Amino acid sequence: MTFSTTRRQALTLAAGAAAAAALPRSALAQSLPTGTIRMLVGYPAGGGTDVMGRIIAEKLKERLGANVIVENRVGASGALACEALKNAPADGSVIMYAPSAATVAQKVTKKSQPYDLEKDLATIGLTGTVSTVFVVSPTLGVRSLPEYIEWLKKNPRRASFGSTAMGSSTHFFGVEIGQAIGTPLEPVAYKGAAPLIADLSAGHAPAGCGGLTDFLTHHRGDKLRIIAISAPKRATAAPDLPTISELGYPKLASEGFYGFYAPGKMSPALINLWNKELRAVVEAPEMRQRLIGLGLEVQTSTPAEFAARQSRDLVSFAASMKAAGFEPE
């Protein structure tokens, strides 16, 4: 072995040791759990959030070699899952998959909560953005917003819509549509998308409002009809669906997000490990296409980028709440 080769090896080892020494001790020692990992979801089984969570959980099982289970903590428009996450172990064994309806919306619309969104919950990373949609029951014989407006004139006593999460965009978007078309629409609370979809399909509810990811599959199956989406541009998975801007109401355009959260006390090292693993799963071509097919506009981020997005949405959502005439409860 030549002197130059030995010297190069020594320099390489020294550089590696220096880099390792520069890392926080926790980043070197910590790793994700290999036992059971719980993914909290604040909505019932069968809804869009649950379906996406389970798809991601299956891929995480394969990637991590761990038992990843989805745990539905249903109630309070997703806030019960947030509270459960606050009190969960911070060892990486519990994370939460949630839409902005369960996080941003709840902070803005509630005067007090048993947790602090920005202190007790830590952002891991975005999964994507999603449009809120307004849908009608197939029993109405309505296939567009103008047709729905005409139907309301003939059926004023049925001027109501089901909301998958009161105090969220799925509540305010419906109210704002009613204001825009000149026919006030009364929101009716549902515990998630699944029971609302059942009532829409059977004709018990005339209309509804929720996330595109909750309703797209059922729209394709003719169990309901999506007549408007809130996003500023048409959905990749459903380019045939008109945006609220195209329908003449650009001021109502908005979109929410989906992302992963950790207990607020989880170490930055573990959060970064989770971010790396989740981004790898979500950005895989096959997974990306599956999520897009459900109505999600896939978009990942760093923990800091997600936190910044959340902060911006807190401001914009407060403005939407004010426009809908809703006061914090």
47 secondary structure, DSSP code: S
Exposure string of 71-80, with b = 16+ CB inside 10 Å and e = fewer, is: ebbbebbbbb
Distance CA 314, CA 307 (A): 11
144 secondary structure, DSSP code: S
Long-range contacts of 87-90, Cβ-Cβ distance < 8 Å, separation of 24 or more: 87/263, 88/38, 88/40, 88/263, 89/263, 90/262, 90/263, 90/264, 90/265, 90/266, 90/267, 90/270
Segments of the chain with pLDDT less than 50: 1-29
- pLDDT attached to residue 113: 93
- pLDDT attached to residue 40: 98
- pLDDT attached to residue 151: 98
The CATH code belonging to domain 31-129+257-323 is 3.40.190.150
Q: 123 pairs with which residues across the strands? A: 261
- pLDDT attached to residue 23: 41
Residues of each domain in the chain carrying CATH 3.40.190.150 = 31-129+257-323
User: Nearest CA to 130 among 46, 224, 49?
Assistant: 49
Q: Express each pLDDT in 214-269 by its tens digit.
A: 899 999 999 999 999 999 999 999 999 999 999 999 999 999 999 999 999 999 99
- For the 132-252 domain, the top CATH level (class) is alpha beta
- pLDDT attached to residue 166: 82
Residues of each domain in the chain carrying CATH 3.40.190.10 = 132-252
